[in-house]
């Protein structure tokens, strides 16, 4: 038996030694960054400039909870120097399996090439009792934190630190770009807040389909009073629809916000019955043609809200 | 049976009380600084349980030992990183019929260079598409005829080592797997392989490829090969073995293809999976020519609403034990409702035509549910 398979073992050994020489180090000087979402990719490009090459796994128009863990993604992850995820279990259904199978020790959790961008971000809905009876809840808090642009600054700082760790000789370059991005973002945040107040968003009651918008509401003064989904990930039953419609009328809700990856038919019906404008609002970079980067995402969102409240077609 | 149940219950109580203790300790640690440090609990492995309840009606209930309702299995999963270089995964199945069984228990080395990973322990063989899936997690209430006849009711699973290599330099995903394991015994049932001596090993290889056809559709094509012992089981019991039966070998080659479609902009509402898997076994026999037997199945699953799936399967397989090739066929239809991501209820009907011309009809009601941390979505 040993003689029969001795050749096979020797061949396998030779192959292992040969491929071990290949290594996984990045080539050409540019760090290869892979992000789970286009929001992270946009901020990474702001900080990394021409010193990094960025690829993203999920498109902005996809539901980031439900992305297929396609084996083709492993080709991107295998050569990554830095993997960035939103974290807080947003990608728990697909990213961990990809990382496990990426054959890249540099991007495993705890390694220098793994970044959870939620570090140092003020996370909402943390704590309290957590159970599946509450739906598909995220035990580590609401993960849609990029929708408060103030959190974009903390995310950018996290990315700056990770890139500087991996390419210390470019640290000052990353710092310069971070400073410029922070300045532009802070200036835009001031503009956006004024614009939101001018269009009457401060204190406006809104209903959203999924719990994607508490950070956006926090940033621009909206009050989310209810959801089309009775619990996260649970489709609404007719009774909930009836109660929600009645509550929207009674509470004088100003807007119904729906993410683009949900079927809008039911929301349209609720909005029509409640006499409230409904708006499909892009929650991520790439979810609408105009939302081409992180700053334009908020420009687009506020423009769409303005038009919806004015009775125009979004 | 009573002893098995008692042992199963005791084991479950042990596991659940451990989890309960962990939770209690966690709660205590937040109120009392002198209590067990919270870090001790944070390092506990992720604990999950999948329950599989099944109701059945039909011709097979006439067989001795079968019952209309059964809690087929509770599958406990314990998973954690061992260190920065490796991960451990344990899946323990507990069932009234089979008792406690270590379904899989592996150490995976995921930080090897050159696109390699290695695994050791007990694991399901990477042959084809169906064999890797744990029984509660398949869409079917039964096993495809060919899968059952070639690899038994529990599938091809054994202790051994494996290596997996993501092939570099290709514009598409291609992965090569190689495994060396003990030859599994299949609980003495007739199957593709039959161990005779402890040193009789099973060698398995698989090439998996994956192609994105568009943003919404993709195609996976794979080929598998397994070479293992073909021991005394299956040899005419009246003839005395003239040579050491352990020297006999059996080989199974397989091919599989899976097409998937899902609009990424409406991922939770519509999807389609179509899969075909073929396998052929060639076995050496004592003093006679090699015997070749084939089997396969094709199935499809269409998600037509957020919570609803419907599909069907066509089976065909030779009887590996029969002296002459004789094929049995079957069809299965299913309608599945998912109350949430964490539970599924499926009504299924299967009609089989066996080699002798007998026909059997079986009706199933399969319910699965899982508790614990959010796992990976199936793909």
ipTM over 0.90: no
d(CA A203, CA A57): 36
**Count of Cβ atoms closer than 10 Å to residue B34 Cβ:** 7
The 10s digit of each residue's pLDDT in A87-128 is 999 999 999 999 999 999 999 999 999 999 999 999 999 977
Show the DSSP H helices in chain B as ranges.
2-31, 38-42, 145-151
Q: What token pair was written down for A297?
A: 């995402």
pTM of this structure = 0.87
Q: Where are the domains of chain A?
A: 31-118+135-185, 192-309
Higher pLDDT, B61 or A170: A170
Those residues with Cβ within 8 angstroms of residue B120's Cβ, 6 or more apart along the chain or in another chain: B106, B107, B160, B161, B162
Q: Look at residues A225, A43, A69 and name the one whose alpha carbon lies nearest to residue A145.
A: A43
Contacts of B77 in chain A (CB under 8 A): none
B67–chain A nearest CA distance, Å: 32
Q: What token pair was written down for B220?
A: 């996976």
pLDDT above 50: residue B345: yes
The 10s digit of each residue's pLDDT in A135-158 is 888 889 999 999 999 999 999 999
Q: Cβ of B178 and A261 within 8 Å?
A: no
Q: Cβ of A19 and B113 within 8 Å?
A: yes
Please name the residues between 97 and 116 in chain A that touch chain B, using a CB distance below 8 Å.
97, 100-101, 103, 105, 108-111
pLDDT of residue B239: 56
CATH (residue range B46-371): 2.40.160.10
d(CA B342, CA B375): 10
Long-range residue pairs from B58-62, CB within 8 A, at least 24 positions apart, any chain: B58/B350, B58/B360, B58/B361, B58/B362, B58/B363, B59/B360, B59/B361, B59/B362, B60/B360, B60/B362
Q: What is the mean pLDDT of residues B287-302?
A: 93
CATH (residue range A192-309): 3.40.50.1980
As to burial, measured by CB atoms within 10 angstroms (0-12 exposed, 13-18 middle, 19+ buried), residue B69 is exposed
Please name the residues between 118 and 157 in chain B that touch chain A, using a CB distance below 8 Å.
none
Mean pLDDT score of chain B, rounded to an integer?
A: 86
Q: Which fold has domain A31-118+135-185?
A: Rossmann fold (3.40.50)
The 10s digit of each residue's pLDDT in B45-92 is 999 999 999 999 998 776 666 789 999 999 999 999 999 899 999 999
pLDDT of residue B96: 86
């Amino acid at each position: 038996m040993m003689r029969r398979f001795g050749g096979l073992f020797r061949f396998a050994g030779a192959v292992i030694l040969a491929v071990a020489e290949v290594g996984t180090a990045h080539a050409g000087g540019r760090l290869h960054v892979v992000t789970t979402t286009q929001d992270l990719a946009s901020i990474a490009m702001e900080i990394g400039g021409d010193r990094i090459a960025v690829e993203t796994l999920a498109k902005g128009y996809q539901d980031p909870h439900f992305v297929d863990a396609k084996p083709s993604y492993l080709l991107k992850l295998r050569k990554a120097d830095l993997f960035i995820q939103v974290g807080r279990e947003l990608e728990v259904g697909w990213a961990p399996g990809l990382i496990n199978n990426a054959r890249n020790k540099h991007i495993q959790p705890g390694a220098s090439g793994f970044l959870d961008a939620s570090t140092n971000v003020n996370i909402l809905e943390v704590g309290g009792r957590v159970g599946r009876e509450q739906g598909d809840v995220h035990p580590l808090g609401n993960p849609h934190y990029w929708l408060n642009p103030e959190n974009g600054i903390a995310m950018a700082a996290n990315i700056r630190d990770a890139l500087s760790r991996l390419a210390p000789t470019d640290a000052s370059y990353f710092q310069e770009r971070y400073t410029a991005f922070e300045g532009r973002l802070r200036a835009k945040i001031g503009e956006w807040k004024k614009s939101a107040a001018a269009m009457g968003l401060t204190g406006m009651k809104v209903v959203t389909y999924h719990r994607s918008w508490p950070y956006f509401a926090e940033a621009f003064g909206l009050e989310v009073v209810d959801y089309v989904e009775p619990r996260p990930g649970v489709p609404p039953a007719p009774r909930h629809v009836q109660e929600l419609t009645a509550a929207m009328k009674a509470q004088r809700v100003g807007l119904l916000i729906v993410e683009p990856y949900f079927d809008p038919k039911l929301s349209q019906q609720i909005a029509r019955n409640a006499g409230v404008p409904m708006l499909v609002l892009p929650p991520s970079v790439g979810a609408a043609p105009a939302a081409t980067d992180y700053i334009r995402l908020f420009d687009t969102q506020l423009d769409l809200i303005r038009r919806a409240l004015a009775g125009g077609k979004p | 049976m009573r002893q098995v149940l008692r042992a199963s219950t005791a084991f479950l109580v042990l596991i659940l009380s451990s989890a309960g203790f962990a939770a209690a300790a966690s709660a205590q640690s937040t109120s009392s600084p002198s209590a067990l440090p919270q870090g001790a609990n944070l390092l506990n492995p992720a604990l999950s349980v999948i329950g599989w309840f099944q109701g059945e009606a039909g011709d097979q209930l006439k067989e001795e030992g079968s019952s209309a309702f059964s809690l087929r299995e509770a599958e406990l999963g314990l998973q954690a990183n061992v260190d920065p270089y490796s991960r451990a995964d344990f899946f323990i199945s507990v069932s009234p019929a089979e008792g406690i069984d270590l379904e899989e228990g592996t150490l995976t080395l995921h930080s090897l260079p050159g696109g390699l990973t290695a695994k050791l322990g007990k694991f399901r063989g990477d042959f084809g598409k169906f064999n890797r899936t744990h029984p509660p997690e398949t869409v079917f209430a039964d096993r495809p005829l060919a899968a059952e006849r070639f690899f038994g009711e529990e599938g091809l699973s054994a202790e051994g080592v494996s290596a997996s290599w993501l092939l570099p330099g290709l514009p598409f995903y291609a992965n090569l797997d190689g495994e060396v394991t003990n030859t599994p015994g299949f609980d003495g049932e007739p199957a593709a392989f039959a161990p005779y001596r402890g040193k009789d090993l099973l060698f398995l290889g698989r090439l998996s490829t994956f192609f994105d056809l568009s943003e919404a559709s993709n195609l996976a094509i794979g080929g598998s090969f397994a070479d293992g012992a073909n021991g005394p089981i299956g040899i005419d019991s009246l003839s005395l073995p003239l040579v050491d039966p352990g020297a006999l070998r059996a080989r199974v080659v397989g091919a599989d293809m899976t097409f998937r479609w899902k609009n990424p902009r409406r991922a939770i509402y519509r999807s389609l999976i179509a899969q075909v898997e073929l396998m052929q076994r060639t076995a050496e026999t004592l003093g006679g020519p090699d015997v070749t037997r084939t089997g396969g199945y094709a199935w499809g699953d269409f998600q037509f609403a957020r919570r609803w799936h419907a599909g069907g399967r066509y089976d065909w397989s030779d009887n590996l034990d029969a002296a002459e090739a004789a094929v049995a066929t079957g069809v299965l239809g299913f309608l599945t409702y998912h109350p949430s991501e964490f539970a599924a209820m499926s009504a299924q009907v299967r009609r089989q035509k066996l080699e002798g011309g007998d026909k059997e009809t079986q009706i199933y009601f399969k319910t699965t549910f899982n508790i614990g941390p959010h796992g990976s979505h199936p793909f």
